[in-house]
Amino acid sequence: MERREALKNIFSLSIAAAVAPLPSFANLSLVEGGVLKQNAQLFQKALLTNPNLQGFVGLKHNISEQVLKVEGAIPADFKGSFYRNGPAIHQRQGQRYTHLFEGDGMVQQFSFTEQGVTHRAKFINTAKFEKEQQAGKFLFSGPDSKLKNSRSVTGPDSINTANTNVLPVNGELWALWEAGSATAIDPKTLNTKGVIDLGKNTHYGSSLKGLAFSAHPKVDPDGTIWNFGSTVTGDIVLYHLNKLGATQKVNILKTNYRGGMLHDFLVTHKHLLIILPSIIKDKTKDTFFGAISFDEQVPLRVLVVDKATLTLKREYNLDPGFAFHFGNAWEDQQGNIRFDASLYPNLDNLHYMSEVMKGKVSHPEQAKTTFFTLYKNGRTTKETIPGVSEFPRIYNHLTGLKNNTLVTLSSVESDVWSDAVRVINTHTGKQDRFTYGKEYLVEEHVVVDSSQKEGSGYLVGTALHVPSKRTCVNIFKANRVSDGPVCRAWLPDAIPLGFHGNFMPT
């Protein structure tokens, strides 16, 4: 009898303690999968009259290696592979996801050699993708899209789509989502190697398994990798990895953040900047993205975290705002911190990406590049650069250090997606811009430079040409962007619009 009681007590401590606090994306009520069917019908109808929507159609199969038609000349010193990631399955069996962020990730590889440009693409074989591909239908409810008979979603990795970014780490590619584990990919075959357990072979053991690992790690000039992961509870996990991707230190930061979603962050040479936007997640709603709204009463909070200890050092409260992405941060000898954000006045753009999934093109307010200075005495200033701004990038060797150059996409003629790329001088505000025009849906452009000198090297990025239904990859001289691409290579078809990527030189 004593043993039985002891046994019961062990159970109570274990399951009750472990299962009860399962973090949830939402308190779910079951929603008929009919919403997803309706979404598919609305999108199909809208696609007939709006060719811009082709970027959101998606693909069904991998793309084998294909040689691309090249215009212009590939620069002699431009050799390597440009990898991009993005959601590429939005619909199965007449059911269409309700948010752009929910689709399964696909890695695109553009390889540049003396022989020319080749392309191939492969879906990331996540546990979710593998099961749904085999079944030929969606099996799991997503953050926003709810299936009536969803299979168990025991944690974020159950529905990890690995669809947001791809980062070279120690000879592998890490396909990144933001709510769960990173997924290792072979850069040569694009085959999926498996989910990365950051605690493996460390004293953290299984305690890091399945933790959120954001899609925007920051890599110091010496290769040290920093990242964060957030959860709806407001707890944020902070990671310090070495250049081989091995975990060095992990800490949990209690923030009381109630926004639910946190996409990007920054580093200086001494600190991490966890920047919490002015958003609130309504826990009573049964969606994730759909439950988040802008709150003008909530300041944009900047948490300054010591890199050495991964603990909070100080906090700044700024005017309310929202940003998906930041370019860079650095601090001067006095300890004043400067950083930039593609800053939105509200959250309409997040919900735009839900509207577009049903074929509805709305006109949300756009982001602008905004430079913030956080003075050591607590004073803060901000300065906004004219023009629409998204997908900011910098020269990699200046991550966390003073940068004079910021690359962003912009929108000049189009109100659907970005249609231009520009280089901003961060001191003068002067812009060097190339406008593809409203016939193009332009994606992130990244800096490719081996000289470690701002102004040298190239930009590379993709764009979907709407009238011809083809995607092209473009190379610009970084210091002459407005001259247009020096080289452009065309795919025979359009590929789905994606999010982020990186260049791996050979």
Q: Site residues (CB under 8 A) for another protein?
A: 1, 4, 7-8, 10-28, 141, 150-155, 205-212, 231, 233, 235, 237, 250, 252
CB atoms within 10 A of CB 309: 12
Nearer to another protein, 234 or 335 (CB): 234
Nearer to another protein, 4 or 363 (CB): 4
| CB 280, min distance to another protein, A | 19
Nearer to another protein, 250 or 266 (CB): 250
CB atoms within 10 A of CB 15: 10
Cross-sheet strand order for the sheet of 271-276: 266-267, 271-276, 300-306, 311-318
Nearer to another protein, 150 or 370 (CB): 150
CA–CA separation, 102 vs 495, rounded Å? 17
| CB 215, min distance to another protein, A | 18
| CB 68, min distance to another protein, A | 42
CA–CA separation, 161 vs 177, rounded Å? 7
Q: Which of 36, 22, 27 is nearest to 96 (CA)?
A: 36
| CB 486, min distance to another protein, A | 47
User: Coil, helix or strand for 131?
Assistant: helix
Spatial CB neighbours of 11, under 8 Å, sequence gap ≥ 6 = none
| CB 305, min distance to another protein, A | 16
Nearer to another protein, 212 or 463 (CB): 212
Nearer to another protein, 203 or 363 (CB): 203
Nearer to another protein, 209 or 477 (CB): 209
Spatial CB neighbours of 118, under 8 Å, sequence gap ≥ 6 = 65, 66, 67, 68, 110, 111
| CB 279, min distance to another protein, A | 20
Are 162 and 172 in contact by the 8 Å Cβ rule? The answer is: no
CA–CA separation, 279 vs 260, rounded Å? 8
Query: What is the torsion angle, in degrees rounded to the nearest 10, for the CA atoms of residue 401, residue 405, residue 411 and residue 412?
Result: 160
DSSP-derived letter for residue 145 is: -
| CB 249, min distance to another protein, A | 13
